[in-house]
Structure formats: structure tokens, C-alpha cells
Structure 1
Amino acid sequence: MSDNTSGAETLGATTSGDGSNPAEKDPADWVTGDEPMTAAQRSYLDTLAREGGEELSADLTKAEASEHIERLQDKTGRSSS
């Protein structure tokens, strides 16, 4: 990994050392968050909703689906944390 000392704009981030994870961005801040949920999100959300005994709208956005997935993972015990 090299430092960018030229002042040019770059993509990606170097470790900031503050313990934050840029990959864990709030779904409300996603650039594509208002697009329809992906097929993978839809399938996983269907499984989680069935296990959680819930019914959800089938026309969620990516951001909404992500938020429901996190909530239902906690509810069903599938949470990774």
C-alpha cells in the first residue's frame, strides 16, 4: 500500500486507525439505496421473514431490505454479531 502524496483524488481508503469500517455504511446513505432490492436480498429476506413470522412488502428498496435483514437476523438468531 502506498500513500498518495500527489494530492490526486483516489478511490478506496487507507486505514484511518479510528476503528471505523467504511464498508459498514448506513443504508440510508447508500448511493443505490433507493433502487429495488436485489434478488439475493429478496430470497434471504423471504427466508428470514418466514422464520420470524412476519410478512413484508415485496417492493422494498435495497436500503429498506438491508435494514429488515439486520433486524430479522437479530430476531431469528441468525445475527453474526
Structure 2
Amino acid sequence: MIFPFALLGAAAGTVHFVAISRDANLLARGGSPLAAFGLRLGRALLTLVVLVAAARQGWPVLLGAAGGFMVARQIVLRWLGTVSP
């Protein structure tokens, strides 16, 4: 049960961290404040749903989902070019 939640955490983490990047771009380039707010709200809800669902399965599953989030963070940072290898 840990591995599927680790994959789910990685997928949700990828969406989460890409949304942070898009949100920052909207704010820096003078985009729509409503779109930025929508990205923030969607990101928060997705993260909340995934982590609460994992927590309801027990701490090992929650740890797997959180680990998936952290792996996704590193992948997205490298993909966006903000971290050198």
C-alpha cells in the first residue's frame, strides 16, 4: 500500500511544484490575479486531499506519500533548470 501512495504523492507533488512555478510567473509578469489565486487554491486542495488520504492509511503510507512529494520537488527543480546537477 505504500508504493501506490508514493507514486500518487510524486504525481501530486509534480503538479504542486509546477503550479508554484506558474503562479510565480503570473505574479512576476503581471498576469491575472484570479488565475494565480486559482492555482494556489487548486494546489492546496490537491495536496490536502492526497496527504489526508495517505494519513488515514497510517504513518508508513503518509511517509511514502511525503517522500513522493520530495522526489517530485527535486525532479521539477531540475526540469525547470533552477538547480544544477
In the superposition, the TM-score normalised over structure 1's length comes to 0.30
In the superposition, the TM-score normalised over structure 2's length comes to 0.29
Larger radius of gyration: 1
Higher RCO structure (Cα 8 Å, ≥6 apart): 2
